[in-house]
Structure 1
Amino acid sequence: MPVYEWVGKTLSGDTVKGTLEASDERIVRIKLRRQKIIPVQIKPKGSGLLARLSTPKKVKAKEVVVFTRQLAAMLEAGLPLVQALDSLANQQKNPYFKEIIFKIKQNVEEGTPFAEALKQYPKIFDRFYYHMVSAGEASGNLDATLKRLALYMEKSLALKGKVKKAMIYPAIVLTVTTIVLAIIMVFVVPTFEKMFGEMGQALPLPTQIVIEMSRLTKKYFPFFLVGTVIFVFLLKRYYRTERGRLQIDALLLKLPLFGNLLRKVAVARFSRTLSTLISSGVSIIDALTIAAKT
């Protein structure tokens, strides 16, 4: 819950100050009046520029999973949705996520459906999450739907973790190989070139090719680095487009080693997504559309 700093006056005219936890400034004023304190100034604690910059503006997928799992357990135990959201917001350690949960709770209190309140934060609760909650609300089985959703997200995170672990070793080998080759071409080969030159003997063609490659690498190395950075930047921009994503993904699926792994991951994710949506009451057409976009 947000913390507010306040300054006030007692009935005798003395100035007092302190901090209070409350959902908004109105609640702080009510609490102070109950203590017979006249509020003079109320402001959120840590509202300065440094505090705003230090506050994380990101919610991790694991935090969303924990939130979903706990909300499902509270609803299954018979707790009202608003009270469950209030309790989860108070327990949340991420200040940014805490603020969002409080806003969702306020929207629900004002009569907004839970799914529509979540839809306002697509970076945290994606299209799949929204449709699952919407189907759960419509069927009256929100707690069961949230349990399925939490299970799905846990399995997705586990699968993503396995893929990352499988990619770590090849990535390390490729990085180390590139660094070693660069060191050899820039520092080692020129030393051998000088030694061979002092010997005054004709060099074999393969050796001449390596020496020439070393010269080119040493001469154009800064341009190579800049070109690599620009290429990666443009590739990411192109991948964000629909056409670019289609072409690059098709190319990745044709890779000798990683293509088969990526294909299995995609099929597993599609099957799990479709199964979860259909079991939650989403129509087959909508389920296929959502699964295709996730």
Structure 2
Amino acid sequence: MGIPLFKGTEVERLRVAGLAAAGTLAHVAGKLQPGVTTADIDAWVREDTARRGGTPSQLGYKGFPATVCTSRNHVVCHGIPRQDEHLKSGDIVNVDVTTCLDGFHGDTSATFLIGEVSSDAKHVVDVARRCRDAGVAVVRHGARLGDIGAAVMALAKAEGCSVVEEFGGHGIGRQMHGPPHVSHVGKAGTGITLRSGMVITIEPMVNLGRPDIRLMPDGWTVVTADGSLSAQFEHTVLVTRDGCEVLTPGELSLHVAHGC
């Protein structure tokens, strides 16, 4: 399957879907506090996505049982929301929202700090956010896919963190997941050449410890093999002639200071 190039009204529809996903993530961010369950987050995503006229892309995808991934502390990705999983002061939690609207998908995530967190937690969250931004910064027409992974990996290594190799970003548009695979480890100047009109996600998973991971028995939840903290941030990005356009923009307050 080739990599689609989007233009005209398709790009506008991608913008609308991206803004919807970013809006839902911001809506959830404003409701997080100690005592909230990850099932509450699932319900909020379901309700807010519907309010914006969309549907949750993740629900039922390859059998995934929820509308959102909620990945807490040492969970790297694909955490399944649960009624018995409560956020506590000191936790970090990634909320990964994907919205389908008018036939196009927008995908975004952020990791939030709940209450009083450790310096290690602050560090891995900060590094993960900056790694995403470093990957976004090299995207432009004519760049190579390996440039993204090289930028992410260099920053994580300089900060004493590691990058998960088994999972990466992806093409997105009329499908939630499509080509190309966007590795967050790589060598600059290698891989396919990016072209204006491509739409990809950049979503590095950064571990405080080693990059090794393991899959839990539920078949979805991925955790760090050494139990170390993991954080992730994600944007959907349109490649342009002059650089790129972030289709899931928005300033989020990552530190949830209040409690119940």
Do the two structures share a fold, i.e. TM-score over 0.5?
no
Higher strand share: 2
Which of the pair has more CA radius of gyration? 1
Higher helix share: 1
Relative contact order (alpha carbons < 8 A, sep ≥ 6): 1 or 2 greater? Answer: 2
* TM-score in terms of structure 1 length: 0.28
* TM-score in terms of structure 2 length: 0.30
